[in-house]
Amino acid sequence: MTDYTKEIQKRRTFAIISHPDAGKTTLTEKFLLYGGAINLAGSVKGKATARHAVSDWMEIEKERGISVTSSVLQFNYDGYCINILDTPGHQDFSEDTYRTLMAADSAVMVIDASKGVEAQTRKLFKVCAMRHIPIFTFINKMDRDANDTFELLDDIEKELGIPTCPVNWPIGSGKKFRGVYDRDTKKVLTFSDTMKGTKEGHIEEIDIDDAKIDEVMDEDQKEQLMDEIELLDGASAEFDMEAVSCGKLSPVFFGSALTNFGVETFLQHFLTMTTSPLPRTADCGVIDPMTEEFSAFVFKIQANMNKAHRDRIAFMRICSGKFDAGMEVYHVQGDKKMRLSQPQQMMAQDRHIVEEAYAGDIIGVFDPGIFSIGDTVCTPGKKFAYEGIPTFAPEHFARVRLLDSMKRKQFVKGVNQIAQEGAIQIFQEYMGGMEEIIVGVVGVLQFDVLKYRLENEYNVDIRLENLPYEHIRWIANKEEVDVEKLTGTSDMKKVKDMKGNPLLLFVNSWSVGMTLDRNENLKLEEFSKN
Ligand code: GDP
């Protein structure tokens, strides 16, 4: 193997998905701790002040104390080079959260053991499932009273429609949590309370037949464990690596990120089961990550990290080959040869300039306003475009009113630019023009971002009026349907997106079904690939 293929082979690029508070940040910290990337757990992004060091990019983030942007963390562990894509975990997540998943090769799903599958987990899971990437489940907070283990697995299977295969099994929970039983090695990993990670834990590995096991758990617990294992061996899906690889079976692990229990064993198993950079589909066929020629696609554009310069950063996922700083590349959509300016990477807290990067890595490059989401960059001489990134369904809508009509020009420019960066989606009345604009966002925080940016960057004041729509559908067969003649429900609104595609907005989810019933030929879809 040549050097560059070795580098690619050892890369693992994944995202962590969860509902807020399930423990994603804590788990990430513990991963970094094992990788030696940070010395002290808790320093990645403390909720209040420490976080600003990491992503002090937008004023609004500072004001709110939450992370609007998502960053990438790279560290090494056990011969692997790991890229964690951080998806914004706050309730007000945005379309960027979904787009980040397009750059991942697998996902770790963190679930709170006392809550099971929650709303945001469900949404993020859907996007992963659409891509058929492997999904690994970490059931967290076992040091607290947890739901019944079988019920937790049942919940995942029913809510998300993916069968599960527990790799280990918890012994008790809360005050009675004793550790996990590894189904393969038949050994128990004993839990010791690290007092929220402040004290070094002493974890033992004891064979289930070893007499020492009686010191760890009482008769009842052992009996329960044996019963559960027997039941499990009879009932659960058999481990099938092929099914895992295409996202049809999720390996499940139990632990407690806060007390640092079960995290390293999870990481070790995960790294052997998850995939090195996956091939990606382009318009000329599938591109092998191991080919020598560099290629990448833009999955996120971050505006205004530095307000003084109004610059943007385009985040690219490298899909094949090796990237060298200063190399000439070809921007396919712009039909231009260029050098990528100031390529950078995040290593734990620091942004630094990269000299070289490989398939699987994420780099951020200075963008003078030429890139769009989904664009392809490759070695000059090649000319292909990676599959585009879908437009995801916004969940909140508002009508935008311009307060000073003299500023119409700046206003139109501003909303268009912000929409082009992918922070918001703009819609117009189906038969109308730009005089009335409806804005759709995935997370409500984006409304604030829009208002703030229009005021600060374009000197335009607006008023937003919330609209009651919650469901949006693109018309999949627009050529076959006469949109004007569509008969829907009374809450339905016809609009068009910036590319002129017709869409329907609904207040109620049942109206979607009703409209489909009333219009036999109509085909609707939840995201747009155009
Ligand atoms: P995120 O919103 O998913 O990133 O969640 P955080 O990692 O910020 O965790 C949310 C809260 O749960 C914090 O107060 C953590 O200290 C706590 N937490 C995380 N993991 C555990 C765990 O394993 N056990 C307990 N008891 N608390 C946890």
Query: Which string of DSSP letters, residue by residue, matches 15-30?
Result: EEEE-TTSSHHHHHHH
H helices present in 132-218, as ranges: 149-160, 213-216
Give the bridge partners for 252, in sequence order.
137, 166
CA 243 to ligand 1 center in whole angstroms: 30
The domain ranges of the chain are 17-65+108-273, 280-378, 396-525
Residue 239 one-letter amino acid: F
CA distance 402 to 313: 28
Percent of the chain with pLDDT over 70: 87
H helices present in 141-218, as ranges: 149-160, 213-216
Q: Is 144 in the pocket of ligand 1 (CB under 6 A)?
A: yes
In this prediction, residue 61 carries a pLDDT of 44
Topology given in CATH for the domain delimited by 396-525: Alpha-Beta Plaits (3.30.70)
Give the bridge partners for 313, in sequence order.
302, 366
Structure tokens at 350: 């620091």
E strand or H helix at 408: helix 408-421
End-to-end CA distance of the chain: 39
E strand or H helix at 122: helix 119-131
In this prediction, residue 53 carries a pLDDT of 33
Is the separation of the CB atoms in 112 and 141 below 8 Å?
Answer: yes
Q: Report the candidate in 375, 347, 371, 376 with the shortest Cα–Cα distance to residue 361.
A: 347
CA distance 151 to 164: 12
Burial class of residue 437 (count of CB atoms within 10 Å of its CB; 0-12, 13-18, 19+): buried
Q: Is 109 in the pocket of ligand 1 (CB under 6 A)?
A: no
| For ligand 1, atom 2: residue with the closest CA | 21
- Ligand 1: which of 26, 84, 264 to mutate, judged by most atoms within 8 Å of the beta carbon? 26
CA 499 to ligand 1 center in whole angstroms: 42
| For ligand 1, atom 14: residue with the closest CA | 21
Q: Is 194 in the pocket of ligand 1 (CB under 6 A)?
A: no
Q: What string of DSSP letters covers 426-489?
A: EEEETT--TTSEEEEESSTHHHHHHHHHHHHHH---EEEEEE---EEEEETTTTT--GGG----
Which stretches of 105-220 are assigned E, i.e. beta strand? Answer: 106-112, 135-140, 164-166, 168-171, 179-182, 187-190, 205-207
- Ligand 1: which of 17, 18, 21, 71 to mutate, judged by most atoms within 8 Å of the beta carbon? 21
Residue whose token pair is 């659960």: 236
Which stretches of 48-151 are assigned E, i.e. beta strand? Answer: 72-77, 80-86, 106-112, 135-140
| For ligand 1, atom 22: residue with the closest CA | 141
In a structure prediction context, what are the per-residue pLDDT tens digits for the chain, which is 530 residues long?
Answer: 678 999 999 999 999 999 989 999 899 888 888 877 654 433 444 443 333 333 333 444 444 433 334 467 888 899 999 999 878 756 557 888 899 999 999 999 999 999 999 999 999 999 999 999 999 999 999 999 999 999 999 999 999 999 999 999 999 999 999 999 999 999 999 987 666 555 566 778 999 999 998 988 999 999 999 999 999 988 777 889 999 999 999 999 999 999 889 999 999 999 999 999 999 999 999 999 999 999 999 998 877 655 555 667 788 999 999 999 889 999 999 999 998 877 776 544 456 677 889 999 998 888 888 898 999 999 999 999 999 898 888 989 999 999 998 999 999 999 988 888 888 999 998 877 666 799 999 988 889 889 988 998 899 999 999 999 999 999 999 899 999 889 889 999 999 998 889 999 999 989 999 999 999 899 998 877 76
In this prediction, residue 47 carries a pLDDT of 40
Is the separation of the CB atoms in 111 and 138 below 8 Å?
Answer: yes
What architecture (CATH level 2) is domain 17-65+108-273? 3-Layer(aba) Sandwich (3.40)
Phi, psi for residue 73 in degrees, rounded to 5: -120, 130
CA 440 to ligand 1 center in whole angstroms: 31
In this prediction, residue 310 carries a pLDDT of 61
CATH number of 280-378: 2.40.30.10
In this prediction, residue 352 carries a pLDDT of 67
Q: Which atom of ligand 1 is nearest to the CA of 261?
A: 23
Query: Could you give the dihedral angle defined by the CA atoms of residues 272, 119, 488 and 392, in that order, rounded to the nearest 10 degrees?
Result: -40
Give the bridge partners for 297, in sequence order.
317, 376
Sort strands 164-166 and 250-254 into parallel, antiparallel or unpaired.
parallel
Is the separation of the CB atoms in 340 and 380 below 8 Å?
Answer: no
In this prediction, residue 1 carries a pLDDT of 67
CA distance 513 to 226: 47
Q: Which atom of ligand 1 is nearest to the CA of 22?
A: 3
Q: Report the candidate in 115, 90, 167 with the shortest Cα–Cα distance to residue 136.
A: 167
CA distance 392 to 367: 23
Is the separation of the CB atoms in 431 and 500 below 8 Å?
Answer: no
Is the separation of the CB atoms in 519 and 486 below 8 Å?
Answer: yes
Q: Is 21 in the pocket of ligand 1 (CB under 6 A)?
A: yes
Q: Is 88 annotated as a binding residue?
A: yes
Q: Is 25 in the pocket of ligand 1 (CB under 6 A)?
A: yes
> What is the pTM assigned to this prediction?
0.87
Helix, strand, coil percentages (3-state) for the chain, rounded to 5, are 30, 30, 40
CB neighbourhood size of 99 (10 A): 25
Is the separation of the CB atoms in 258 and 197 below 8 Å?
Answer: yes
Is the separation of the CB atoms in 206 and 190 below 8 Å?
Answer: yes
Q: Is 523 in the pocket of ligand 1 (CB under 6 A)?
A: no
Q: Is 18 in the pocket of ligand 1 (CB under 6 A)?
A: yes
Identical fold between 17-65+108-273 and 396-525: no
